[in-house]
Amino acid sequence: MVATRRACAAGVIAISPARTLALALHAGQEPATSRKPAKTVLTKGDGRLKPSKAKSTLSLPAPNPKNKPRSNGVKPVPLTLAPPSGWRAIWDLIVELRADRTAVVDRMGSEAISSSAPAQSRAYETLISLMLSSQTKDTVNLATMLKLREHGLTVDNILATPDEQLNELIHAVGFHNNKVRFIKQSTAILREQHGGRVPDTMEGLLALPGVGPKMAIIVLRVVYGKVVGISVDTHVHRISNQLGWTGPVATKLPEQTRGAIEAWMPSDIWADVNLVLVGLGQEIQTEKPKLLRKCLECSDPDAALALVARLGLDVPRERAKLAKGNAV
């Protein structure tokens, strides 16, 4: 154990042949041996982990060569899936890697923006932030929201703002022309049909132009404390398919993925899935050195390295870069 920690601190850790668990993960096969990690869950406070006595086997389903998300040719996903073998241990390991809450989404995502909004306008700001967030980086979304706050982000003020001026305020986000129209139409509906309040039902939210299930689920959870489903964005969609959590056939659209994972995933973790997987996906794409260090320092480095490799991280390359940096 001491030797392992020293190797971790140096940025280099040897993968022992005895670690059949991690090797099975990397190969996408069921391991002959298994570990029994403590179940970990995120708390609402500082994101630290709570251990429990749940027993599980860390394994990934065998990789399916066709298991690659696509954008069209949609077929319904059966909603009678059995829980994938070893999913709980995989989830616990991901939660451990995400316990620090240092991904971009943790600091600049719609939920972070919502938490800093004034109480009287929190619901409306959350809705607008989510409408702006599609096809937009979190950093750009945050900067745009700060502009809108300075302008006056209220139902009445947005309706009084000329379209051209609103477009100028949000021009940095993706599809800003469409979003001006959606924001104006949805805001008008809020004032005319809901007394200026954001609806607290899926039906009411989905009736707003530009609002889809992903946004509606987050609004209900963040603003009203209602957990009605799993919000699936591109990161959740991709990772769920990579892990084999969507069944034997790959899902092609986020809503298919939502139906597939909600069919077997316990509802008590639905609230955490989006933030945990979005942050992991961001770190795999843009914060590789930090993620690698977390893998090397976690409770099971071999399994963590195999997991992130399965999710697309070039582990040998990143370890070589880390070792080179430590040697300087």
In the chain, what is the straight-line distance between the N-terminal and C-terminal CA atoms, in Å? 26
Alpha-carbon Rg for the chain in angstroms: 21
50 is annotated as an active-site residue? no
For residue 44, the SS3 value is coil
Q: How many helices (H) and strands (E) does the chain have?
A: 18, 2
Query: Taking CA 62 as the corner, what is the angle to CA 56 and CA 64, rounded to the nearest 5 degrees?
Result: 140
Q: Please give the single-letter amino acid code of residue 260.
A: A
Q: Which of 39, 179, 214, 294 is catalytic?
A: 214
d(C-alpha 74, C-alpha 72), whole Å: 5
**Which residues, listed in sequence order, are joined to residue 217 by a DSSP beta bridge?**
none
Query: Taking CA 62 as the corner, what is the angle to CA 41 and CA 264, rounded to the nearest 5 degrees?
Result: 45
From the list 210, 186, 214, the residue with the least C-alpha distance to 199 is 186
Active site residues: 214
